[in-house]
Amino acid sequence: MFNCIVASPITRAKLLIGALLLSAATTFTVADETVPAATDPAKEERLPLRELRLFTQVFEQIRRGYVEEVKDTELLENAIAGLLLELDPHSAYLNETDYDELQEAATGEYGGLGLEVGAERGLIKIISPIDGSPAAQAGIEPGDLITEVDGIAVRSMAPQKAIDKLRGEKGTSIVLQVLREGEDKPLEFTIVRDIIQISAVRSHLLEPGYGYVRVSQFQNTSGSDFKKALAGLYTPGSPLKGIIVDLRNNPGGLVPAAVEMADAVLESGTVVYTEGRLPSSNSRFRATPGDVIRGVPMVVLINGGSASASEIVAGALQDHKRAAVLGTQSFGKGSVQTVIPLGDGRAIKLTTARYFTPNGRSIQAEGITPDIIVEPAEIRPYEKSKTVREADLEGHLEQAAHEDSESSPVDDAQINDNQLYEALNVLKGFQLLSRDRNSQSEPGSPQN
């Protein structure tokens, strides 16, 4: 017959520390009996008894003498966080809230209303409702100002706390009071939350034949979303001439999504490989046959905010000479973090490997060096004085009839973004140099 003892938090803490001390003492005995630690550092005890005793002393002094009472469980949680904090900038302890936010960022899904919002004069301003979202279906419009959330004045809360209240589990309802320009009194909306899916990939045509794909982070679906974006840029009768992939200020995310993105435009070869202490940390990711845009020239934009998975994509396409990399030196985060759940809603994020580009370059603390370095700069058109041209001369010959060219003016947004402007010029240069080849085999039709 066994007795079941329910220990208090203090007792549990002491039992844990006692178990560590016993483990340390056991390890000491084994180490001392086999080989002296001084002659074989590799077999030194893994739990040094002296330091563990020091830990218990500090733990007890804080518990008994700190100016404010601190729970034993909180002290132990802080100690766990400290273990990871001193390893490197990316290893971390994740409490339940941190872990939920990490999973949300990875999936791009959250329970909420589907609103892009900001703070204005102590209220929540609606920038835009997501198409098809509960907020859009309820009639929320851009420019609306939320003054109350479930009867609580927004101004009585911190801005971020008020915004956080908009989120919640699918199926739960929320009541919003809204000010709208042109309305005499506030409007009230009761909205039922749903699962909102946010894609980190956006795309559009800059000019006929020249596509732009912006990837803001690497989520679960970013690889497939990237391929859909490429397919959406193609229109029959107007083949793609070039693609710009914008990875500037992309902090990274999931490695499999980065591999899938690079694989979409590579025919074969290594995309990235990792090396670590555990066998599972040593992996090589290879491209599968098939370039979905059939060799269409590409430029990848990076800067100092491009990190981790962004550098995997840029490095792979650069090493395989599949794209020209333009911009400024990337961040240089060449390490892989593994998220290890602890089984109670918490987890640790532990650096387990370094990753290398196909040519064996480690970009840890180094980054990706662009093929074409273009610093961000302000562009202003040069005002020229009026000059006389042939068309101004009296009796000039008329222009011969010809077909209109496909060229179109560059919009102001592109001119203000000098790196994007230069990337577009590079693609046009590629097109000019390969015109003869392109006339023989028309690229730009995505493969199924």
Q: Is the pLDDT of residue 379 over 70?
A: yes
**Listed residue (205, 111, 125, 211) closest to 167, CA to CA:** 111
pLDDT at 77: 93
Using the structure block, give the residue that is written with the tokens 């193609």.
234
The whole-angstrom separation of Cα 263 and Cα 289 is 8
Mean pLDDT of 45-70: 90
16, 26, 33, 47 from 19: Cα distances, Å: 5, 10, 21, 11
pLDDT at 343: 87
The whole-angstrom separation of Cα 260 and Cα 363 is 20
Top mean pLDDT of 6-20, 317-331, 370-384 is at 317-331
Catalogue the active-site residues. Answer: 308, 319, 333
The whole-angstrom separation of Cα 80 and Cα 91 is 12
Q: Which of 18-27, 73-82, 185-194, 237-246 has the lowest mean pLDDT?
A: 18-27
The whole-angstrom separation of Cα 320 and Cα 104 is 33
Amino acid at position 122, single letter: G
Q: Which residues contact 195 (CB under 8 A, 6 or more apart)?
A: 109, 110, 111, 170
Q: What is the pTM of this model?
A: 0.79
Q: Is the pLDDT of residue 406 over 70?
A: no
Report residue 130: phi and psi, to 5°: -70, 135
pLDDT band at 116 (very low <50, low <70, confident <90, very high): confident
Q: Which residues contact 9 (CB under 8 A, 6 or more apart)?
A: 71, 72, 73
Domains of the chain: 11-86 (no CATH), 109-197 (2.30.42.10), 201-373 (3.90.226.10)
pLDDT at 25: 37
Mean pLDDT of 402-425: 71
Q: Is the pLDDT of residue 445 over 70?
A: no
The whole-angstrom separation of Cα 38 and Cα 276 is 27
The whole-angstrom separation of Cα 328 and Cα 330 is 6
Q: Is the pLDDT of residue 369 over 50?
A: yes
| % the chain with pLDDT above 90 | 67
Computed over every residue of the chain, the mean pLDDT equals: 85
Element (H, E) at 104: helix 96-107
Q: Is the pLDDT of residue 10 over 60?
A: no
**Listed residue (215, 227, 413, 221) closest to 314, CA to CA:** 215
**Are 315 and 357 spatial neighbours (Cβ–Cβ below 8 Å)?**
yes
pLDDT at 3: 39
How many CB atoms sit inside 10 A of residue 416's CB? Answer: 12
Q: What is the 3-state secondary structure (H, E, C) of 322-345?
A: CCEEEECCCCCCCEEEEEEECCCC
Q: Is the pLDDT of residue 314 over 50?
A: yes
pLDDT at 20: 47
pLDDT at 378: 83
**Listed residue (229, 296, 239, 236) closest to 261, CA to CA:** 229
How many CB atoms sit inside 10 A of residue 203's CB? Answer: 21
85, 88, 351, 353 from 91: Cα distances, Å: 6, 6, 6, 12
The whole-angstrom separation of Cα 232 and Cα 210 is 12
pLDDT at 47: 77
pLDDT at 187: 97
pLDDT tens for each residue of 121-163: 889 999 889 888 999 999 999 999 999 999 999 999 988 889 8
**Are 282 and 274 spatial neighbours (Cβ–Cβ below 8 Å)?**
yes
Q: Is the pLDDT of residue 260 over 60?
A: yes
